[in-house]
Chains A and B, each alone.
Chain A
Amino acid sequence: MIKDESTIKLMIDTVSSYVKDRLIPIEEECAENDSIPHEIIDEIRDLGLFGLSIPEEYGGLGLTLEEEMLVVFELCQASPIFRSVIGTNVGIGALGIVLDGTEEQKLKYLPKLASGELIGSFALTEPEAGSDAASLRSTALRDGDDYIINGTKRFITNAPEAGIFTVFARTDSENKGAGGISAFLVEKGTPGLSLGKNEKKMGQWGGHVCDVNFDDCRVPVSAIIGGKEGQGFKTAMKTLDKSRTHIAAVCVGASDRIIKEALSYAVERKQFSKPISDFQLIQAMLADSKAEAYAARSMVLETARKYDLKKNISTESSCCKLFASETVCKIADRAVQILGGSGYIRDYAVERFYRDVRLFRLYEGTSQIQQLIIARNMIKEIN
C-alpha cells in the first residue's frame, strides 16, 4: 500500500542519490577494511533510514511494508553491508518490540531504535539450534524479581554494534518445545553479557557477526517482551514472517545491481570484433536474470501489499525469501559467467557480490526451512 506516491518517490530519490554519491564509491574500501566509516553510519542515521518500519508514534517513519520494500530496493543497489547497518533496526532487531512489546518497552526503546541512537540485534540461533530454533538450550530462570540468563547465541548480526538484544531463552525447563521459550530485552553492558570475536566470513565484509554469551546474566522481569512467559517463539516467528519479505527485497535490490554490472560489461567488452552483448548466449543469460529479478520484485511487492491489508503472509513471505535468495545467487553466478575471467577478479564488483549474496540463502531461515514452511502451510490448509 502506498500512502502517498510523491512522498515515497522523494524518499526513493534521496536514497538513490545517496547510494550513488556516497555508498557505491566507498563499498569496495569498506569490504577491504572490513568496516564502515563512522561518518557513513552517521549519515545513514541522519537520513532517517533506521526508522523505516517503526511506527510514527514512536519516532519512526511508519512506512507501509510496500513502501519499505521500495526504499530497500534502492538502498540495496549498493553493497548489502550498508543495508545490514539498518537491517536489524528495520527488521528482526526491533520487530519483536513493535509486534509484541508492552507500551513501556515500546516507549523506552523504539524512539532510540528509530533514530539509530540504539542498534538492535536478534539473538535466536545457537550452536546446537539453528533451523530447529524451538530446540534452543539457553535458559532464563526466575529468581525473585529477576531472570538469570545462561547460554550462547551464534552468528548474531550487528552484535558488536548493538545496544539492545532481543534474546530468546527457555523459561520453562519442563517444556522442551516452542511453548517454553520467552523473549527478553537485554541491554548492552548488562553484567554477564559478553561478545565472542568477529567471525571471518565468506562475504559481506564490513558487516559484523559474532557469538553473544550469557553467563548468569541478570535481567528484571520487565525485560520479557510483552510481559508474559512462553510467548517468545510466537514473537520470533511473527518477526521472521515480516522480516523474510525484507530480506527478499534486499535480494531484489542486489539482483538489479548485479544485472546492471553484467549488462554494462557486456555492452563494452568486445570479442570477435563486437560487443559480447551481441551474442545470443550472453543475451540469454541477461534475459533470464532480468525476468527472474522482475518476478522476485513482483512477488515481494504483492506480498507486502497483502501484509499492509493485515493478511497473514507466512506462506507468501517464505515464497519471497526462497525465490528471491535463490534467484539472486543464480543472477550473481551468471554475472560472473558474463564477465568471464574478470568476474573472478577482485577489481570487479561482481566478484564481491557473488560472495555477498550467498548468505541470503542461509540466514533468517535457510531455503530448506522456507520450503518446509511453505509445504506445511499448504498441507495445513487442505486438512
Chain B
Amino acid sequence: MKLLVCIKQVPDLESRFKPDSEGVWYSESDLAWRMNEYDEFAVEQAVQLREKLGETVELTVLSIGPDRVVEAIKKALAMGCDNAVHIQDPVAAAKDPWQIASVIAVYAKDKGYDLIFTGMQSQDRGSAQVGVMVAEQLGYSSCTTLVGFEYDSGVVTAKRELEGGIKGVVKMKTPALVTCQLGLNVPRYPTLPNIMKSKKKEIITLAVSDLLTAEPLAATISFYSPTKKGGGLVLEGEVASLVDQVIGILKEKTSVLR
C-alpha cells in the first residue's frame, strides 16, 4: 500500500508581512518558516495509518518550493514518513493553486498511491483548492475538512467538520484524497532520536520544469495590508484610566450595566 502526504512550508503567521518588490506576494526577508499547520494534521494522520498497517506500507511526503522547504520535509520524515520528494521550484509562490495541483498530479499519476493526505488549506494563501484539484486531476474520490478518519481494507470513513459544530459522516473507497482540518488529531513533536534517524531517509529532488504542464488560471495583481475600517475607538494608556473609560462607555452605549 502506498500513501502520499503533501505539505507546504509557510511563514510563521505571527510575523509581520510586507509586500515584496513586485507587490504581489509577501517579502520573504526576515521570516521564520514552518510546516503549514493543517499539513501537520495530515502528516500525523498518515503516520498513524502507516504505524497501524505496518511494514507493507510506504509513506512518502512531498513538498514543492525552494531549498528551504527541505526543512519541512525533514520534519515530516522525523515524524515518521518513509521517504520524500522535493519538487524544486524557486518561484512556487508565483504559481496559482491549479498549477500546484497539476504538478502534484503529474508526479503522482503513475505511482499508484492508494491514499493522499493534504491540509485543508495553507495558512498563507488559504485558497483550500489544491487537495481537491489534485484528486480531480487523478480521478480520485476526495473529501475535505476532516476531523475524523478511519481506514479499513480499502474503505475510508471520514468525518467532515460542518458549520455550527455538526459533522458529516462520509464513506469512500480508495484511491482517495482527504484534506485535514485542525483538531483531527494531535500532531506529534518529532523526537530528537527520530530526527537523527531520519537523516538516513531518502529525499528525491525533481525539477518543477519536468512536471509543470499547466498554465496559470488566475493572477494576483496586488498584495497589501487591510485598510482600517476606522470608526472603532482605540483606547490606550494607564490601566486604571482605561477601566474608567470602558465603564463610561458601557453605561453610555450599552444597557448591560442597567
Chain A residues with a Cβ under 8 A of chain B:
4, 6-7, 9-11, 13-14, 17-18, 46-49, 51-52, 56, 61, 71, 270, 273
Contact = CB atoms under 8 A, between A and B. Distances in A.
For the residues of A in contact with B, the DSSP-based class is helix
Contacts of A49: 192
Contacts of B199: 4, 7
Nearest to B242: A270
27 contacts: A4-B199, A6-B70, A7-B74, A7-B199, A10-B75, A10-B78, A10-B190, A13-B75, A14-B189, A14-B191, A14-B195, A17-B189, A18-B189, A47-B189, A47-B192, A48-B191, A48-B192, A48-B193, A48-B194, A51-B192, A51-B193, A56-B196, A61-B192, A61-B193, A61-B196, A270-B238, A273-B237
Interface in B221-258: 236-238
A172 to B, nearest CB: 42
Interface in B169-210: 189-196, 199
Nearest to B187: A17
Contact of A6 (B74, B193, B196, B237): B74
Please provide the 6 A-B residue pairs with the shortest distance between their CB atoms, ordered closest to farther.
A48-B192, A48-B193, A48-B191, A14-B189, A47-B191, A10-B195
Contacts of A273: 237
Given A48-B194, A273-B237, 9 more contacts: A6-B71, A7-B195, A10-B74, A10-B75, A10-B78, A47-B191, A49-B192, A61-B193, A270-B236
A10 B189 contact: no
Contact of A9 (B71, B189, B193, B236): B71
Interface residues of B, number: 17
A206 B189 CA distance: 24
Contacts of B75: 10, 13
A206 B235 CA distance: 41
Nearest to B192: A48
Contacts of B238: 270
A273 B238 CA distance: 8
Contacts of B70: 6
A207 to B, nearest CB: 22
Contacts of A47: 189, 191-192
A166 B195 CA distance: 30
Nearest to A9: B71
A18 B190 CA distance: 10
A314 B197 CA distance: 33
A125 B194 CA distance: 37
A11 B192 contact: yes
B39 to A, nearest CB: 15
Contacts of A10: 71, 74-75, 78, 190, 195
A49 B196 CA distance: 12
Contacts of A6: 70-71, 74
A9 B192 CA distance: 11
A47 B190 CA distance: 7
A90 to B, nearest CB: 12
Greatest chain A CB density within 10 A among B74, B190, B195, B236 is at: B195
Nearest to B199: A7
Contacts of B195: 7, 10-11, 14
**Residue of B192, B194, B199 with most chain A CB atoms under a 10 A cut-off:** B192
